[in-house]
Chain A
């Protein structure tokens, strides 16, 4: 397949994914409600959150809702449909479409959760904009890791527990960096201070994505 050909397949697959997600709005709504409810529960328990707790609660909610949301990356389609989807493209392109779609999904959940938290538990950030885009940089890696783990746990007849058990330790390095960077945005530190961490976050993204692309072909079909 040529490069432009695979790119076209990639776009087609993402659009296909979007359309089939749109047809099952209750599933998508369930995911958004999950985050919104979690934020509301933390509002009822804490009322106003001080800065570091805000960050901790945010990342906890995101960790749980992203494993929940991305756990169904391969689970929602029946095995017949999965085989059909997989016969359309090369494994790399297929994985790329899943990961890109998941980055989009995570960014939307991120926007929603952040908005809910700003409304209910307050805004402790000096530099909210930086927090927002740093989180999106992290979601590139998070989406890569969780998509691969979702493919693994589907092969093991996907219990929800397995997804959580397999993915939490693996995404922990990413989480540590993201929490550190969020703290910087919280205190409005000079961006120069975050540069090293940001570079490491980028490197971790690259590491996770390249490992995922190398390993995914082995999870391909049976």
Chain B
């Protein structure tokens, strides 16, 4: 039996529930949506996960600016990398779904645009990080940008898309998934899915941060 922290057990067990039930569980039959309604289990948790991870990244940047301990910079880095990965996966699953329900990979939907901008912000954060050589300067300056980007992300993701009509479920008179997952069967898979993928994200970030620490240690030792 491997010794894992409790949250990793929760992530593992709920993923064991979510993956088979996500693909094979009973879902309501809806015209147009058909089986693509299962995307709820995979696409939506990616966005939730991304928000949690980016918030954690911003939090560690804040702590870094207060305490100036480099480990917080490693954490901010790791969370933002995994948040970016989740964002890319969320965008991809959304695009595939959109092709089969809206008829186009990219239809200029406000949510698509907003998430593309969000990804650009965090890609820019990667570019900024890589343009420093000194770890302390990198940590300080990129923490400032991280916090600024995160505070611009909030209006982008939560306020602006609600202003415009959108085909996206939950917008502009379009039925949201909420009306489907009132269906108890979907709720039973959807909530664990959000939990599972978010915890998986934190797990990935944990592994990434440890990898970074080891590679830094090796670099210091052998160069």
How many residues does chain B have at the interface if contact means C-beta atoms less than 8 Å apart? 26
Contact B148 A156 (CB under 8 A): no
A173 and B152 within 8 A (CB): yes
Q: Tell me, yes or no, whether A162 is within 8 Å of chain B by CB.
A: yes
A218 to B62, CA, bound (A): 11
Are A211 and B141 closer than 8 Å at their CB atoms? no
Stretch at the interface among A49-57, A83-91, A164-172: A164-172
Interface of A is mostly: helix
Is A157 part of the contact surface with B, judged by Cβ < 8 Å? yes
Residues of chain B lying within 8 A (CB to CB) of residue A203: 155
Interchain CB contact under 8 A, B147 and A211: yes
Q: A200–B151 Cα gap in the complex (Å)?
A: 15
**Interface hits, B86-140 → A, CB 8 Å:** 117-118, 120-121, 124, 127-128, 131-132, 137, 140
Once A162-B131, A218-B65, A218-B143 are accepted as A-B contacts, the answer to whether A170 and B148 lie under 8 Å apart by CB is yes
Distance of A103 from chain B, by nearest CB (Å): 18
A180 to chain B: closest residue by CB: B163
Of A172, A176, A207, the contact of B151 (CB 8 Å cutoff): A207
B120 contact set on A, CB distance < 8 A: 168-169
Question: Is B156 part of the binding interface, using a Cβ–Cβ cutoff of 8 Å?
Answer: yes
For the complex, is B48 an interface residue (Cβ under 8 Å from A)? no
Contact status B147-A155, CB under 8 Å: no
**Contact of B144 (CB < 8 Å), options: A152, A162, A173:** A152
Report the tally of A-B residue pairs with Cβ distances under 8 A: 75
Residue B160 lies at the interface, judged by CB distance under 8 Å to chain A: yes
Distance, CA A208 to CA B141, complexed state (A): 17
B59 CB within 8 Å of chain A: no
Q: Is the CB of A155 within 8 A of B137?
A: yes
Q: For A196, what are the chain B residues with a Cβ–Cβ distance below 8 Å? A: 163
Q: Check A162 against B128 for contact (C-beta < 8 Å).
A: yes
A170 near B152 (CB under 8 angstroms)?
yes
Inside 8 A of A169's CB, which chain B residues have their CB? 117-118, 120-121, 124, 149, 152
Query: B132 contacts A156, CB within 8 Å?
Result: yes
Q: Which of A162-201 contact B (CB under 8 A)?
A: 162, 165-166, 168-170, 172-173, 176-177, 196-197, 200
Q: Give the distance to chain A from B171, nearest Cβ to Cβ, in Å.
A: 16
| Cβ-based interface call for B145 (8 A) | yes
Q: How far is the CA of A149 from the CA of B148 in the complex (A)?
A: 9
Contacts of A159 in B (CB 8 A): 131
Contact of A152 among B65, B117, B141, B159 (CB under 8 A): B141
Q: Is A14 positioned at the interface, with any CB of B under 8 Å from its CB?
A: no
> Would you call B156 and A156 a contact (CB within 8 A)?
no
